[in-house]
Amino acid sequence: MRIFKFGGASVKDAAGIRNVHDVLQKVGYEDVLLVVSAMGKTTNALEVVIKNYFEKSKELQASVQEVRKYHNQILLDLFDDEKHAAFTDVNRLFADLDAFLSQNKSPNYNFVYDQVVSMGELISTTILANFMNHMGIKTNWIDVRHFIKTDNTYRDANVDWEQTQKNISKNVKRKVLNITQGFLGSDDNNFTTTLGREGSDYTAAIFAYCLNAESVTIWKDVPGVMNADPRYFENATLLNQISYREAIELAFYGATVIHPKTLQPLQRKEIPLFVKSFLKPELPGTSVSKGKDLEPHLPCFIVKKEQLLISLSSIDFSFIMEENISEIFSLLHQYKMKVSLIQNSAISFSVCIEDKFGNFNELKTILSKKFKVAYNENVSLYTIRHFDEKAARIVEKNKQVLLKQMSRETMQVVTKEVN
């Protein structure tokens, strides 16, 4: 079986849905499982719904209606008859959303988040499956929440691999086109969980691992894995082949083409990963597989924007020792800070973090009780794999360098724009 993942950009409108059909006609769809994200910016739109829900905003119903209107227009563009089953199926999902918003009693933001944003994937796959059937391609629509089981760490759930393996290996149909949702799972109480933003790639890898898949293909709006993000760097170059190790390194440092958790399960079973363009499916794209000889022979640039650089120093000028660092990391874990870079001296400790859950102010209050806390907001972290002097000059040009760190293969620089 082959696993295909299509992201939100590939199914953002009716033309995108039709293009997925065309891609499948070209590359084949028998014994294939599609993992599909929410359409376009639906997740962002549902986050607005959640915000309005918690703020008791009068705009709640209007924000839900915006999401409904967006999907209804796609349905109208795809199906001539408004009595088509697709309209009924999607309306049923919106009825489920309305029921949750009116009946929920939980004040837990993360719990509510997962129950609401999951509607994006459920709706997109429902529309896609209906369209494929309409075009003569018989599909098997799968509710991924019955297959991928997790703990109840809402918004960043951990997979129960043993139970998930049993569910997938026993119940996924072969020799048909399966369509399921990325990003989602469910806990022991069958409440919806999510695997973290951009987690659809990870979903594809989970299914591939459990099914001993032939390959995984991530379909993107770029030709493949580039040595730099074309939005920030000129003359970005396609990497035709890279090793699992290199891909894991790039993903760890923040390359957005492949989700960081995607690669480990694929590497364990040596399942090849392809990153290809859904706009030009005939192009080879990038292949990720085993082999030391697949390392890039040019610098690879990764940039992470909107980071926080925190510098801690001891109040009494005493050394920051192991017990202090242990306590700091415990707090970073407790407040769900993603650490990208650390550097320490005798009396100071600096860490570059991503505050994706908005917990920094609480963390700062706790840290201030034991340390002097200085910080820079909205900094950028540049990572260069296989760096050279020219590459370093590119990222440092017209910027204030706040912190720099180098190893044999990798250079990291925290910068702030110079006004």
Determine whether the annotation assigns residue 387 to a binding site. no
What is d(CA 200, CA 194) in angstroms, rounded to the nearest whole number?
10
Q: Tell how strand 348-354 and strand 300-314 pair up.
A: antiparallel
Cβ contact 84:131 at 8 Å: no
The per-residue DSSP string of 249-266 comes to HHHHHT-SSS-GGGHHHH
Return the DSSP state at 237: -
**Nearest residue to 159 via CA among 125, 202, 120:** 202
Determine whether the annotation assigns residue 121 to a binding site. yes
CA-only gyration radius of the chain, Å:
23
What is d(CA 397, CA 377) in angstroms, rounded to the nearest whole number?
20
Question: Residue-wise over 32-64: b if at least 16 C-beta within 10 A, else e?
Answer: bbbbbbbbbebbebbbbbbebbeeeeeebeebb
Cβ contact 379:328 at 8 Å: no
Determine whether the annotation assigns residue 5 to a binding site. yes
What is d(CA 170, CA 220) in angstroms, rounded to the nearest whole number?
30
Return the DSSP state at 172: P
Determine whether the annotation assigns residue 224 to a binding site. no
Q: Is the CA virtual torsion 40, 44, 50, 51 positive or negative? A: negative
Q: Tell how strand 286-289 and strand 399-406 pair up.
A: unpaired
Task: Please report, as a single letter, which amino acid is at residue 83.
Answer: K
Tokens of 334: 């407790």
The per-residue DSSP string of 88-101 comes to HHHHHHHHHHHHHH
Tokens of 112: 């509510």
**Dihedrals phi, psi of 214, to nearest 5 degrees:** -70, -40
Cβ contact 383:250 at 8 Å: no
Determine whether the annotation assigns residue 69 to a binding site. no
Q: Is the CA virtual torsion 89, 90, 93, 95 positive or negative? A: negative
Beta bridge partners of 307: 379
- In the chain, the N- to C-terminal Cα span, in Å, equals 53
Q: Detail the residues annotated as belonging to a binding site for substrate.
A: 43, 121
Q: Detail the residues annotated as belonging to a binding site for ATP.
A: 5-8, 231
Q: Detail the residues annotated as belonging to a binding site.
A: 5-8, 43, 121, 231
